[in-house]
Amino acid sequence: MHISELTTPALVADRAALDHNLATMAAALPGARLRPHVKAYKCTALARRQAAAGHTGFTCATVREVEGMAAAGLGADLLLANEVLDARRLGALVDAGHGVTVAVDSEETVAAAADGGVQRVVVDVNVGLPRCGCDPKDAGRIADAARARGLEVRGVMGYEGHAMVVEDRAERAAVVERSMELLVAAHELVGGDVVSAGGTGTYDLNTWATEIQAGSYALMDTAYAKLGLPFRQALAVLATVISVSPTWAVCDAGLKSLGMDHGDPTIPGATVWFCSDEHVTFAPDDGVRVGDRVRVLPAHVDPTVAYHERLHLLDGDEVVDTWEIDLRGW
């Protein structure tokens, strides 16, 4: 099928760029050194490609992602890198033989894990981003509480998200180092084999973690593109030009097909003016015509993908595969 036959807006990924990204990461962080984060793409077909590249443990952000990965036969070692107060659905997966580990950062989340039937946890440590994670000096206490409930404590995790967006590489490395000093100190209090951290922006800077939780590298977005990483922009939202005025044009992507928290998307060869629910208004450098197709590059991959039902894989302008975005919802 040619891309002109796709109903727009359509989520598309360049197969060559995706293959390059997967291969580049697998060379840098082979096998279990990478625990790909499925939240970035919510697609078991893409996860299967990562598993084929050697990464068989995965990171998830929601219970639904854990369930979907398990249902797809990718449940050997799933880390829910997030806190939950109701772990019963996770416990059901454990009962069914899947490998599920959940993050805990409080006595309440320890209790929820134990009550829900999860058997393995990591202690989530705050390494500088004000979000989840216990104070590093409390990590040993949380681990003790978990062991007291019969849980296996596999180690620690700590996400240096505040480092991801630092454009200067040396500054970014410094933030990673400070963060990981906190995580390593917590790890000494906790024990276990796992020090899980990192992301696409720090995948080669974080040498303290035993495994890196990167996900965005596979499809990429314009925010990460600013960091000069070796990953190519694979993802776009394909749109149709539906209206042309003297100084602007409008295509049929919009707020419901693009994650907007990192700002407006980019259209190569044009200046984006603003987005509406089902429209992007843009000024093309050269003329466009009604019916033309344009590729809209999202600023943030994760909340973009979450709006779409499927991802079309492209070889040039040919659609060579279509993958379900099957890990949406909660």
The contact set with a copy of itself (CB under 8 A) reads 7-10, 39, 61-63, 82-86, 105-106, 108-109, 126, 130-133, 135, 161, 240, 242-245, 247-248, 250, 252, 255-257, 259-261, 273, 275-279, 281, 289-291, 300, 302-303, 306-309, 329-330
Q: Which is nearer to a copy of itself, 140 or 161 (CB)?
A: 161
Instruction: Report the distance separating Cα 105 and Cα 122, nearest Å.
Output: 9
Q: How far is the CB of 54 from a copy of itself (least distance, A)?
A: 25
By beta-carbon proximity to a copy of itself, the closer residue of 53 and 70 is 70
Phi, psi values for residue 10, rounded to 5°: -135, 135
Q: Judged by CB, which is closer to a copy of itself: 53, or 166?
A: 166
- Shortest Å distance, C-beta 242 to a copy of itself: 4
Nearest distance in Å: CB 86, a copy of itself? 8
Closer to a copy of itself by CB, 126 or 233: give it: 126
| Distance in Å, CB of 108 to a copy of itself, minimum | 4
Q: How far is the CB of 262 from a copy of itself (least distance, A)?
A: 9
Min separation Cβ 75 and a copy of itself, Å: 20
For residues 200 and 233, what is the distance between their CA atoms, to the nearest angstrom?
A: 13
7/168 with CB nearer a copy of itself: 7
Question: Rounded to the nearest whole angstrom, what is the least distance from the CB of residue 204 to a copy of itself in the complex?
Answer: 22
Distances (CA, A) of 244 to 10, 241, 279: 20, 7, 12
Q: Rounded to 5 degrees, what are φ and ψ at 204?
A: -105, 0
Give the residue with the Cβ less far from a copy of itself, 34 or 142. Answer: 142
The CB-of-62 to a copy of itself minimum distance in angstroms stands at: 6
- Residue 9, preceding bond cis, omega within 30 degrees? yes
Output the six-digit token pair for 268: 């190569």
Cα(12)–Cα(234) distance, rounded to whole angstroms?
8
Contact, 231 vs 14, CB < 8 A? no
| SS3 category, 143 | helix
In DSSP terms, 284 is beta-bridged to: 270
24: amino acid identity, one letter = T
Residue holding tokens 């000069």?
228
**Pairing status of strand 211-212 against strand 194-197:** parallel
Burial of 247 (0-12, 13-18, 19+ CB in 10 A): exposed
Q: Which CB sits closer to a copy of itself, 194 or 249?
A: 249
| C-alpha to C-alpha distance for 44 and 30, rounded to whole angstroms | 20
C-beta closer to a copy of itself: residue 74 or 102:
102
Closest approach of a copy of itself to the CB of residue 27, in Å:
27
Distance CA 55, CA 76 (A): 11
CB 238 within 8 A of CB 9: yes
Of 52 and 148, the one with the shorter C-beta distance to a copy of itself is 148
